[in-house]
Amino acid sequence: MKKIILFGATGFVGSEILQQAIHRGFHVKTLVRNPAKLKMMHSLLETVLGDVSSLEQVERVLEEDALVVSALSANTIDERITYIENIIKAMNNKGLSRLIVLGGAGILQISETQKLYEGEHFPLELLRFTLGHLGVLAHLKKSGMDYTLVCPPQILPNPATHNYAVHENYAPKGWTINCGDLVHFIMEEVKNNKYIKSQVSISN
């Protein structure tokens, strides 16, 4: 079974990805600024001290034939773009191509000509995050990576129900997703590689 390189393992979604990956028997390697924030210890977990803002440190944590999952959050657009640039560059340098990234539903289509964030009712407070996700998508599209950009709506701190809808390119029908279900989808994508070079919405 391939090793997963996980960025953002101490965050809300990232910590759930870590738990579900370990539960499924994956070896997981993380790059974290503060290992004390990790919510678990396990023989299948390897932790490396470092920061994704450093290309050298990102490259150091990667391994041959590994799959990369990024659940990173960011405070600014520039920060988010730096993270994805470093991950893509480091993966290219290591000859890796499979990348799953957590984004946001605002970048998805609501029609053939309009994205969700362009609609008149889209919350203005979410705009800067959405612009960051658009930048990430642009970098993924030109990278040549076998990427999947997972674009959830509001994430609720609830366990998995295994009852959710998935749509390619278009915004979700529902406006919430349980964190457990979101991560279940991500882990299924780790296994099945169904949505390559695609942005995907998921909702309960």
At 201 the pLDDT is 95
Give the chain's domain count: 1
CATH code at 78? Answer: 3.40.50.720
Mean pLDDT within 58-78: 95
At 168 the pLDDT is 95
Measured CA to CA, the distance from residue 168 to residue 202 in angstroms comes to 9
Mean pLDDT within 20-46: 93
Percent of the chain whose pLDDT exceeds 90: 88
Question: What's the pLDDT band for 40 if we cut at 50, 70, 90?
Answer: confident
| Residue 3 scores a pLDDT above 80 | yes
Q: Give the length of the chain.
A: 204
Task: Name the residue with tokens 């349980």.
Answer: 178
Burial of 85 per CB tally in 10 Å (0-12, 13-18, 19+): middle
pLDDT in tens, 82-117: 999 999 999 999 999 999 999 999 999 999 999 999
* Phi, psi angle pair for 15, to nearest 5°: -65, -35
| Residue 33 scores a pLDDT above 90 | yes
At 39 the pLDDT is 78
Which residue range is the domain that position 38 belongs to?
Answer: 4-203
Residue 201 or 120, more confident: 201
CB 95 within 8 A of CB 65: no
pLDDT in tens, 118-164: 988 888 888 889 999 999 999 999 999 999 999 999 999 999 999 99
**In sequence order, which ranges of 63-165 are alpha helices (DSSP H)?**
77-94, 127-143
pLDDT in tens, 133-145: 999 999 999 999 9
At 1 the pLDDT is 62
